[in-house]
Amino acid sequence: MSNKRRDNKGRVLRTGESQRKDGLYEYRYTDANKKRHSIYDSDLMRLRKRQDEIQKMRYEGIDYAGGEITVIELLE
C-alpha cells in the first residue's frame, strides 16, 4: 500500500498541501523571513496554480511580505 497522502477524491497531495475537514484545500509555505503563510481554495487545481505563482515569485527573488515591506527594503 502506498504511503502518499490523498484527498477525499483519491488524488495524491503534494508537500505542503492538505485538505481540511470542511473540504477546503490548504497550502502552507514559509517566506524568506521564516514566517508561515497559508492559502486556501475549494479547488485543488486552482490552489496548485496559485502555488506555482508563489514558487515562481520566490525563485525570482520577489518577496513583497504581504505589504509589510517598504520599497527601499525591497530594493536592498
Alpha-carbon distance of 29 to 18, in angstroms, equals: 12
Grid cell listed for 21: 475537514
- Average pLDDT value for residue range 1-19: 88
Sketch the domain layout of the chain as residue ranges.
17-75
Q: What pLDDT sits at residue 66?
A: 57
Q: What pLDDT sits at residue 68?
A: 64
Grid cell listed for 13: 497531495
Residues 20-35 pLDDT 10s: 999 999 999 988 778 8
Q: What pLDDT sits at residue 63?
A: 60
Q: Tell how many helices (H) and how many strands (E) occur in the chain.
A: 2, 3
Q: Which amino acid is at 25?
A: Y
